[in-house]
Chain A
Amino acid sequence: DTAVSQTPKYLVTQMGNDKSIKCEQNLGHDTMYWYKQDSKKFLKIMFSYNNKELIINETVPNRFSPKSPDKAHLNLHINSLELGDSAVYFCASSQGEGHVRETQYFGPGTRLLVL
């Protein structure tokens, strides 16, 4: 059983297009996250939702819009894709709101390539 799943795994698209990445967790967790792995291999937090409410919104271009239809899903929509958006995007979830001892469970990543 996959705990945190992402679709698609690979996404190749043209500059200027709009695309969405979906994330689902079946762990019953309250909080979900989107991370971007940049060119230097850093995992950087982008957004976090707790029970469908946005709690972390890092300095991310407003072309990126997360949407949480319910607490088991957190989708990432990207408008007007740019070359610099090429990266691996990871979804994660945790039981509560990022409390001290909570582990985050990661999805397999979506490899986005913008041409």
Chain B
Amino acid sequence: ILNVEQSPQSLHVQEGDSTNFTCSFPSSNFYALHWYRWETAKSPEALFVMTLNGDEKKKGRISATLNTKEGYSYLYIKGSQPEDSATYLCALLYGGATNKLIFGTGTLLAVQP
């Protein structure tokens, strides 16, 4: 059974703080790692798709890194804003007989003004 784990489960920060969280996954049969942002009562929205060891992606104040050899990815948010409050999901694209996304449980980020 494949496990994708995210930590911490939840995080409360003040506006302006920078923060980061972790996604851990088994490195065998790795195809890609996806990060999604999921606001309450909305659909998950894609942030990044990362495929190569050492990949770094950036979108505005949000960035992510990938280490496929040791099986982890970090998501960083610089200068958190209240609108960053959401659940951040990572998902491993696992290449078996068919490709499918295995999701972690997410990190719930709350940014207080």
Q: Which residues from chain A sit less than 8 Å from chain B, CB to CB?
A: 4, 40-45, 48, 55-56, 90, 97-109
Contacts and interface: CB of A to CB of B under 8 A. Distances in A.
- Interface bracket on B: 20 to 34
Interface centre among A40, A41, A48, A56 (most CB of B within 10 A): A41
Given A90-B43, A90-B44, A109-B43, 9 more contacts: A4-B43, A40-B105, A43-B91, A56-B98, A99-B99, A100-B51, A103-B34, A104-B34, A106-B43
Interface of B: 31-32, 34, 42-46, 49, 51, 89, 91, 93, 98-103, 105-106
Main secondary structure of the interface of B (DSSP, over half): strand
Interface centre among B34, B89, B98 (most CB of A within 10 A): B98
Given A4-B43, A100-B31, A107-B43, A42 B105 contact: yes
